[in-house]
C-alpha cells in the first residue's frame, strides 16, 4: 500500500487546509466554552489565517496592546 504523504505547502494562508483548520479551532473553542465552565473564565482569542500578519508578529502586537491598557497587571 502507498501511504499518503502530507504536503507541508498546504500550511500557508489562503489554503483549503488552513480554512478547515480555522473552522475546527473555532468549533473546538465554542464546544469547550459551552461544556467546560473553566473555559469561560479566560478570554480566548483566535487569530486565524485570514487575519493579516505572521503569527509571531500578531502575538507580540497583542502583548504590546495589552501592556498599554489601564489596569494591566503582570
Q: What is the DSSP string of 1-45?
A: -PPPPP-GGGSSTTSHHHHHHHHHHHHHHHHHHHH-GGGGSS---
- Structural domain count of the chain: 1
1 pLDDT band (50/70/90 cuts)? very low
Of the listed ranges 2-11, 33-42, 51-60, the least confidently predicted one is 2-11
Within-domain flag for 4? no
pLDDT of residue 29 exceeding 70, the answer is: yes
pLDDT for res 2: 60
pTM for this predicted structure: 0.74
Within-domain flag for 13? yes
| Domain that includes residue 47, residue range | 9-67
Within-domain flag for 1? no
Within-domain flag for 19? yes
Amino acid at each position: 500500500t502507498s501511504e499518503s504523504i502530507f504536503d507541508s505547502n498546504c500550511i500557508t494562508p489562503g489554503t483549503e487546509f488552513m480554512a478547515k483548520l480555522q473552522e475546527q479551532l473555532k468549533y473546538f473553542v465554542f464546544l469547550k466554552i459551552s461544556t467546560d465552565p473553566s473555559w469561560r473564565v479566560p478570554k480566548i482569542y483566535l487569530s486565524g489565517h485570514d487575519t493579516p500578519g505572521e503569527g509571531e508578529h500578531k502575538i507580540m502586537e497583542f502583548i504590546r496592546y495589552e501592556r498599554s491598557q489601564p489596569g494591566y497587571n503582570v
